[in-house]
């Protein structure tokens, strides 16, 4: 009703006149800024007179408003008990004071106070439920903002153990590991003995007032005490079946339950040993369920206080575990997404690197071709000039007057031809530092890059088999360019209509990389076309990268061969010595 009024003046003008609040029979008062009493009912005046030693209504309001600790609680209604005496000699009477702090429209605060007799048990329960609902709400908000699994797990456990939360002494979180098929202890918080409990709780109580603050600062305040309890957690491994009856029921019903030594019935089945590991006679177990499957288990106990775990505790733990299950699943999905993003980023980096190498390869090809063409254009006329000089010199004999001059010409032509030989060699592979590297990875990268550059629905080079971790010693960069050159040949010459397979495996002491057709007639026919094109193509039309590639293989003590047989596919095989430690 007060929400209808936007200011204190509104309240003064209207609220009291229309008897909005006067219908209540309990003592009620409203105070404004500085505790000034704005309004009270008759019952409040009677209460002050009868139960507060005849103090004035303003004095009683001041006592209530200024009660220590109440002033800070401004986000929701606060209840507290107040013992009062009608007279010095009369016995104290307990009252329940319900104080709400409201913000009026002009930024001013209003305190609305209602006094009743000490609340009933149902009221106490209602207040507790309200408090728990607020805790679950806060934890939910925190979980909503958390995407990292470790952070999510910690929030769940803090919620289960913090005094303001579910209030268990310790909590353990088990997550399902699909590889092993076990629920494994992942993380735990709480003290391992009374001494640690005292240290943890005094730090938490002294430093943090709200659950939000506690979650934000937990690692700094109390995380250091969790080492022992985490060691306990890591000893827990539970299968999903063949469990002791009590735990088995949790898995069958998907509901939380109290697991006691009695309920376990010392069945000797898996799970009974948990009492020994945890050092308690009973604990609560709640499943973390997502879409019908149990993704984890939340175990909680009261090792230190020994407080009994009630049905109500279990119910709340169950709600909490459901909430937590969804958060865990979401965190896992987020982590998987992050991993995918990371893999994509790595693939993108590799692609960029491959494209860079491709450009380097193209440059190498262009330089090689240019050097080769220059050498060719000079060598032809030089061969004619030098050849005739030799021819004339041979016929002239030793005593001819031009013999000496012809010898000089021949000598200088030889010099130029030697320069041309070196020039041509430069256009081939330059020597580079040799290292041991993973040839399997290199081949895989190159083939994937070649395939990714082909516009076709299917890859042109089908990677049939690449045996992992074949190590080769040499120049990784040069061999990458060489393998790239051979791979590209199949595409450049054959086009996307000629699928070729690739196999890398060790054969004796050699790494054997085969480019081969699939073992059918059509495939053989296709690869013959590729080979034929390679063998007879015009040097004027061809790039010189294959020449350089061959030279690189030779320089690495490798070889290139063609293999074929009656029942074997036709293939080009590149062999390189395997590096052995």
Partner 1 sequence: MQNILVVDDEIELSKLYQQELRDEGFNVMVANDGFEAINLAQKNTIDLVVLDIKMAGMDGLEVLNEFRMKNADIPVILNSAYSTYKDDFSTWLADAYVVKSSNLDELKNKIRELLKI
Given the rule CB under 8 A, which residues bind partner 1? Answer: 368, 372, 375-377, 379-380, 382-391, 410, 413-414, 417, 420-421, 424, 427-428, 534-540, 542, 544, 546-548, 550-551, 554, 560, 562
Contact 497, 522 (CB under 8 A): no
**What does the alpha-carbon distance between residue 392 and residue 405 come to, in Å, rounded to a whole number?**
11
Task: Please name the helix (run of DSSP H) or strand (run of DSSP E) that holds residue 363, with its range, or none.
Answer: helix 311-396
Shortest distance, position 425 Cβ to partner 1, whole Å: 8
Among candidates 37, 34, 24, 32, which has minimal Cα distance to 5?
Answer: 32
Taking the least distance from each CB to partner 1, the nearer of 130 and 388 is 388
Q: Which is nearer to partner 1, 171 or 548 (CB)?
A: 548
Q: How many CA atoms lie within 13 A of 161 on its CB side?
A: 33
Q: What phi and psi, each to the nearest 5 degrees, are found at residue 238? A: -120, 135
* CB closer to partner 1, 199 vs 382: 382
Joined tokens for residue 52 = 């507060």
Signed CA dihedral, 229, 230, 231, 234: sign only: positive
Q: Are 21 and 15 in contact (CB under 8 A)?
A: yes
The minimum distance between CB 380 and partner 1, in angstroms, equals: 5
Residues 6+ apart with CB under 8 A from 89: none
Smallest separation, CB 534 to partner 1 (Å): 6
In 3D space, the residue among 315, 284, 334, 385 whose CA is nearest the CA of residue 133 turns out to be 315
Q: How far is the CB of 341 from partner 1 (least distance, A)?
A: 44
Query: Please, which residue, 19 or 395, has the CB nearer to partner 1?
Result: 395
Checking DSSP bridges between strand 500-507 and strand 510-516, what pairing results, if any? antiparallel
Of 159 and 494, which has the nearer Cβ to partner 1? 494
Q: Which is nearer to partner 1, 12 or 412 (CB)?
A: 412
Nearer to partner 1, 329 or 544 (CB): 544
Minimum CB separation of residue 334 from partner 1 in Å reads 53
Cβ-contact 263, 245 below 8 angstroms:
yes
- To partner 1, the closest distance from the beta carbon of 443 in angstroms equals 20
- In whole angstroms, the minimum distance from the beta carbon of 483 to partner 1 comes to 15
Query: Which among 509, 549, 518 is positioned nearest to 368, based on CA atoms?
Result: 549
Minimal distance in Å, beta carbon 413 to partner 1? 5
Q: Which is nearer to partner 1, 396 or 463 (CB)?
A: 396
Q: Which is nearer to partner 1, 274 or 534 (CB)?
A: 534
Q: How far is CA 387 from the centre of its chain?
A: 73
**Residues 55/48, Cβ–Cβ less than 8 Å:** yes
Minimum Å gap between C-beta 398 and partner 1 is 18
**Residue 445 or 545 with smaller CB distance to partner 1:** 545
Instruction: In angstroms, give the least distance from the CB of 550 to partner 1.
Output: 5
Q: Which is nearer to partner 1, 362 or 417 (CB)?
A: 417
**Smallest gap, in angstroms, from Cβ of residue 328 to partner 1?**
60
The DSSP 8-state label assigned to residue 402 in this structure reads T
Count the Cβ atoms, other than its own, within 10 Å of residue 377.
10
Backbone angles phi, psi at 522, to 5 degrees: -60, -40
Closest C-alpha among 33, 42, 183, 179 to residue 110: 33
Upper half-sphere CA count for residue 552 (Cβ side, 13 Å): 30
Angle, CA of 281, 287 and 289, to the nearest 5°: 175
Cβ proximity of 2 and 11 under 8 Å: yes
């Amino acid at each position: 009703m007060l929400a209808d009024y936007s200011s204190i003046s509104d309240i003064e003008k209207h609220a009291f006149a229309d008897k909005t609040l006067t219908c209540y029979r309990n003592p009620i008062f409203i105070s404004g800024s500085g505790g000034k009493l704005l309004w009270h009912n008759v019952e409040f005046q009677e209460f002050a007179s009868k139960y507060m030693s005849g103090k004035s209504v303003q004095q009683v309001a001041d006592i209530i408003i200024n009660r220590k600790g109440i002033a800070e609680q401004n986000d929701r209604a606060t209840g507290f008990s107040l013992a009062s005496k009608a007279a010095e000699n009369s016995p104290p009477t307990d009252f329940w004071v319900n104080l709400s702090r409201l913000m009026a429209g002009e930024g001013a605060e209003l305190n609305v106070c209602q006094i009743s007799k000490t609340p009933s048990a149902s009221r106490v329960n209602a207040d507790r439920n309200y408090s728990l609902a607020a805790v679950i709400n806060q934890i939910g908000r925190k979980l909503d903002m958390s995407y990292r699994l470790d952070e999510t797990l910690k929030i769940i456990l803090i919620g289960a153990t913090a005094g303001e939360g579910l209030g268990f002494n310790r909590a353990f979180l088990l997550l399902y590991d699909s590889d092993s098929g076990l629920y494994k202890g992942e993380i735990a918080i709480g003290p391992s003995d009374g001494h640690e409990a005292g240290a943890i709780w005094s730090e938490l109580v002294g430093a943090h007032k709200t659950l939000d603050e506690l979650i934000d600062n937990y690692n700094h305040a109390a995380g250091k005490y969790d080492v022992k309890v985490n060691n306990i957690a890591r000893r827990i491994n539970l299968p999903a079946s063949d469990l002791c009856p009590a735990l088995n029921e949790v898995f069958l019903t998907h509901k939380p339950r109290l697991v006691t030594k009695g309920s376990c019935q010392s069945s000797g089945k898996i799970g009974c040993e948990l009492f020994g590991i945890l050092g308690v006679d009973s604990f609560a177990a709640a499943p973390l369920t997502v879409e019908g499957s149990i993704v984890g288990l939340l175990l909680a106990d009261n090792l230190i206080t020994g407080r009994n775990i009630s049905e109500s505790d279990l119910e709340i733990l169950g709600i909490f575990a459901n909430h937590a299950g969804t958060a865990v699943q979401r965190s896992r999905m987020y982590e998987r997404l992050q991993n995918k993003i990371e893999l994509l980023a790595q693939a993108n980096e590799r692609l960029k690197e491959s494209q860079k190498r491709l450009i380097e390869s193209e440059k190498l090809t262009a330089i090689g071709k240019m050097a080769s063409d220059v050498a060719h254009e000079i060598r032809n006329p030089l061969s004619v000039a030098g050849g005739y000089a030799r021819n004339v010199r041979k016929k002239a004999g030793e005593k001819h007057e031009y013999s000496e001059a012809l010898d000089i010409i021949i000598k200088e032509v030889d010099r130029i031809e030697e320069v041309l030989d070196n020039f041509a060699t430069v256009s081939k592979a330059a020597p580079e530092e040799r290292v041991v590297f993973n040839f399997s990875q290199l081949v895989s990268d190159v083939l994937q890059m070649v395939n990714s550059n082909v516009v076709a629905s299917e890859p042109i080079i089908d990677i049939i088999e690449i045996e992992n971790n074949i190590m080769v010693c040499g120049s990784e960069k040069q061999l990458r360019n060489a393998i790239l050159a051979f791979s590209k040949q199949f595409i450049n010459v054959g086009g996307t209509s000629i699928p070729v397979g690739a196999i890398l495996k060790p054969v004796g002491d050699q790494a054997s990389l085969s480019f081969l057709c699939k073992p059918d007639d059509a495939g053989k026919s296709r690869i013959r076309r590729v080979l034929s094109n390679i063998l007879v193509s015009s040097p004027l039309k061809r790039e010189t990268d294959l020449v350089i590639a061959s030279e690189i293989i030779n320089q690495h003590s490798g070889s290139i061969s063609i293999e074929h047989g009656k029942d074997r596919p036709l293939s080009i095989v590149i062999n390189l010595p395997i590096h052995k430690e």
